[in-house]
Amino acid sequence: MTLNKSQGKKYIFKIVLLGDPGVGKSSLISRYVHNRFESSYMITIGVDILSKQLFVGEDEVLFLISDIGGQERFSSVREKFYRGSKGCFLVFDLTRPNTLESIREWKRGLNGVEDDVIFFVIGNKADLKDQIAVDEEEALNIVKELDLPIDSFFITSAKTGEKVEEAFQTFARELIKAVEKKRIEVR
């Protein structure tokens, strides 16, 4: 963290999006960083890293966003990219209940490498209204089980953009609060 001469503080946060293959991690990042949605599915091979600058009040935040392939064959690569992460979106697909169950393992995997991480949970693909198989109460039960605050859960649609910006903006605010309360350290 450094002080910007003309305004507030400047923060750089490395964050990761974790979840099973096909839950929409890359689509969420594309929507947030580039404000676009690709309808054709391409699996992430290894890791993609993108950045996005935003402001929270007068504070400047730079997100370094790691999109880590969810396939099992990339498990050996993951740990290297987990290091230094201060925030994590655990992403599941609202149309596939098993992906909600999996976020426990994704959280455990990251906690095994980094212990001072702020977690948010994203239920993605809200646009597929007639296919939704996970209700909000079920998701909130998992959020509580993971010992996360209720307001760390968002239902989004990478396709329409619904709540994507809001989720990242709220995440940035929570990361700044965590630094100020010394729950996480940034270098």
What pLDDT, on a 0 to 100 scale, did the predictor assign at position 80?
73
- The residue-averaged pLDDT of 48-66 equals 94
Alpha helices by DSSP H, listed for 59-163, are 75-82, 97-111, 136-145
CATH number at residue 36: 3.40.50.300
Please give the C-alpha separations between residue 66 and each of 84, 144, 147, in angstroms, as whole numbers. 11, 25, 24
**Range of weakest confidence among 35-39, 89-93, 100-104, 125-129:** 35-39
- Give helix then strand counts, H and E, for the chain: 5, 7
Is there a domain that residue 185 lies in?
no
Residue-number span of the structural domain to which 31 is assigned: 2-180
What pLDDT, on a 0 to 100 scale, did the predictor assign at position 104?
96
Is there a domain that residue 186 lies in?
no
Neighbours of 151 (CB within 10 A): 10
Is there a domain that residue 109 lies in?
yes
Total of domains in the chain: 1
Residues 6+ apart with CB under 8 A from 129: none
Is the CB of residue 105 less than 8 Å from the CB of residue 76? no
What pLDDT, on a 0 to 100 scale, did the predictor assign at position 18?
93
pLDDT higher at 72 or 53: 53
**Range of weakest confidence among 39-43, 144-148, 154-158:** 39-43
Query: What band does 5 get if pLDDT is binned at 50, 70 and 90?
Result: very low
Is there a domain that residue 79 lies in?
yes
Q: What is the DSSP string of 1-50?
A: -EE-SSSSEEEEEEEEEE-STTSSHHHHHHHHHHS----S-----SEEEE
pLDDT at 92 over 80: yes
Distance CA 29, CA 36 (A): 9
What pLDDT, on a 0 to 100 scale, did the predictor assign at position 93?
99
- The residue-averaged pLDDT of 87-96 equals 98
Full-model pTM: 0.89
Is there a domain that residue 187 lies in?
no
pLDDT at 19 over 70: yes
Is the CB of residue 28 less than 8 Å from the CB of residue 91? yes
pLDDT at 6 over 60: no
Average pLDDT over the chain, rounded to an integer: 89
Is there a domain that residue 105 lies in?
yes
Surface-to-core class of residue 15, CB atoms within 10 Å of its CB (0-12 exposed, 13-18 middle, 19+ buried): buried
